[in-house]
Chain A
Amino acid sequence: MNISNIIDQQTLDALIKFGINVLIIILKIAVVLGIGLLHVAYATYFERKVIGHMQVRLGPMRVGPHGLLQPIADGLKLFFKEDIIPEKADKPVFYLGPVIFMAAAMVNLSVIPFSSHFVIANINVGLLFIFAMAGMGVYGIFISGWASNSKYAFIGGLRSSAQVISYEIAMGLSLVGVMIMTGSLNLTDIVKAQEESIYGMFAIPQIVGFVVFTIAAVAETNRTPFDMPEAESELVAGYFTEYSGFRFALFFLGEYIAMFIMASMATVCFLGGWTLPWYIKVIPFINYVPGIVWFLMKVYAFIFFYYWIRATVPRYRYDQLMGIGWKILIPVALANILITGLVKILL
C-alpha cells in the first residue's frame, strides 16, 4: 500500500516539516534545561569559591580536587533528605509554592537569545514576557510564605512581595530607555540594534538605566544587600524556612536561575548580548570566536558582580531598602526615560 493514497504529498511535506521543527525545539529545550541546571550546580560552587577567597578563606576543598564535586554532593544530599511538611501547613498550596517559583524562573530561559540563531522562542514581546514571569515568581514566594504557617516564612513572604513589586517598577522603567533606543521589545532585535549603534552596547548611552537596572536586579532576585526576605539573622531563612529536602532545592534552583536570567537580561539589553562592539572587532581573528562565548562571558561577569557585592556590602535596613527603591531609583529611571526620549525626538 502506498502512503500517498492515504495522505497527499503536500500535507505529508508540511507534516514532516512541522515534526522536524518540533523536534528541533525540543532538542533546544533539552540543551538549555540541561545547561541551566548544570549552571545552577556550578554557580553555587563559583559563589562559594569567590566569596571564600574574598574573605581570605578557601571555600569548598574536600570533595574532589579543589572541591569540584561539591555541588554534586550537595545535590545528592538534598535529594535524599527527609521531606518535612509542617502539620498545620496549607498542604496543596505548600506543594505549589516552590513549583511556581521555579517554573516562573525557568520559563524565562526560553526567550533569552544565547546567540544569533539560538533562541527557543523568538517572540516579539520578549522583554515584557520576562517582566510578567518575574512577577509570577513573587506568587511562588508569597504563597510558600503564607502556606508554611510560620511567622518567619510569613514575614519573609510579605517582605519579598513588597520588595519585588517596588523594584520591578524601577527595573521596568530602567529598560524603557533601551526600548526607546531600539524601538522593539524583541530581545534579538535589541542585541542587533546595539551591534549597529556607534556605541556598540547600550551600557554607554544608557549608563543611568544600566546602574538602576543593576541595583534593581539585585533586589529583584533577593540577593544581598537586599536580601530582606531571607535575612538569615532575623528570619531564619525567610519564606522557605519550613521547606526541606528537594522542595528546598527547588527554591534554590529558582533563585540561581533567576540570577542567570537577570544577568542575561543585563547582557542582552545593555552589554550587547553575543555581539562585540565594532571598536573591539578590529582586533584580528576575534570574529572567529562564536557568539555564545561572548554571551556567557558577559553573563558570568555580571554574576561575578552579584557575588562581589554579596561579599562586600552588608544588608540594608528595610526602610532604607524601600527608600532607595521609591525615592532614588524610580525618579532617576523616569528622568532617564525623559532624557532618552527627548534625545530620540530631537536628533
Chain B
Amino acid sequence: MTVREIVKRFTFIEIFKGMALTLKRMFSHAVTIQYPKERRHIAPGFRGQHALAKNQAGQAKCVGCGLCATICPSQCIHISRAKGQVTKYEIDILRCIYCGFCVEACPYGAIALTENYEYSDYRKEDIYMTRDKLLLSWDKYMPGKKGEDYFKKFWRPMSEDFGTPPVQAVFRGKKE
C-alpha cells in the first residue's frame, strides 16, 4: 500500500468529495416540474392524440383512400367506404405507437397529430377514437390558423408539394 492509498483510506477523502457535491446540489435549483400546476413546454410538431383535419368549409379532408391504414405499422387504423363516402374511420389509440407514418403517407393532409397528450381514461372504449371524436379533436386542438400552419410547417402533404424524396423516409419539414 502506498502512502497515497493509506491517506485516501483513513481520511475518507473520496466520501467527503461526494458529500461536497451533494451539498452543492442541495442549493441548486430543483428540476422538478410540478405537473398539474405547471407543464412542460411542448415541442413544435409534437406527436400526440390524432385528429382528422377539416378544410375551410368545415368538411373532413379525408377521402378514405386507406394509405394511412396501409402504412400503419401497428395496424390500428380501420377505414371503410361505401358509396364514395367514408363511413368508418377509427383509430385504436392504445395500439398506436405515434410514429407519424399516417400523417406522412396522407396525400391530402387529412390526418394530424395534435399536441394533446392528456387523454387517459378509465375505460378502453372512451379512448377508442371514432370519426366524430377525431373531427372534434381537430376543432379543439388545431383551431383556425394553427391547423393550416401545422401541415405546411411539419409535413407538407403531397397535394401541396409533390416531389420525390431523394432517399427513403425523409423528414419533409421546413428548416427554420
Contact = CB atoms under 8 A, between A and B. Distances in A.
A302 to B, nearest CB: 14
Given A61-B34, A308-B23, 11 more contacts: A53-B27, A54-B22, A54-B23, A54-B25, A54-B26, A57-B31, A58-B30, A61-B32, A308-B22, A312-B18, A312-B21
Nearest to A310: B22
A309 interface: yes
A313 B23 contact: no
- A56, A57, A61: residue with the most chain B Cβ atoms closer than 10 Å: A56
Contacts of B22: 54, 308, 311-312
B15 A56 contact: no
B18 A56 contact: no
Contact of A308 (B19, B27, B28, B29): B19
24 contacts: A50-B26, A53-B25, A53-B30, A54-B22, A54-B23, A54-B25, A55-B25, A56-B25, A56-B28, A56-B30, A56-B31, A57-B30, A57-B31, A57-B32, A58-B34, A61-B32, A308-B22, A308-B23, A309-B19, A312-B15, A312-B18, A312-B19, A313-B15, A313-B18
Interface in B7-64: 15, 18-19, 21-23, 25-32, 34
B13 to A, nearest CB: 13
Nearest to A53: B26
Interface in A32-89: 50, 52-58, 61
A171 B105 CA distance: 72
Contacts of A53: 25-27, 30
Interface in A288-347: 308-309, 311-313
Nearest to B28: A56
A172 B172 CA distance: 73
Contacts of B32: 57-58, 61
A289 B23 CA distance: 29
A53 B31 CA distance: 10
A216 to B, nearest CB: 14
A312 B18 CA distance: 6
Contacts of A311: 22
Contacts of B23: 54, 308
A311 B28 CA distance: 15
B8 to A, nearest CB: 14
B26 to A, nearest CB: 5
A57 B21 CA distance: 15
Contacts of B29: 56
A329 to B, nearest CB: 12
A309 B30 CA distance: 20
A25 B34 CA distance: 48
B29 to A, nearest CB: 8
B19 to A, nearest CB: 5
A309 B15 CA distance: 9
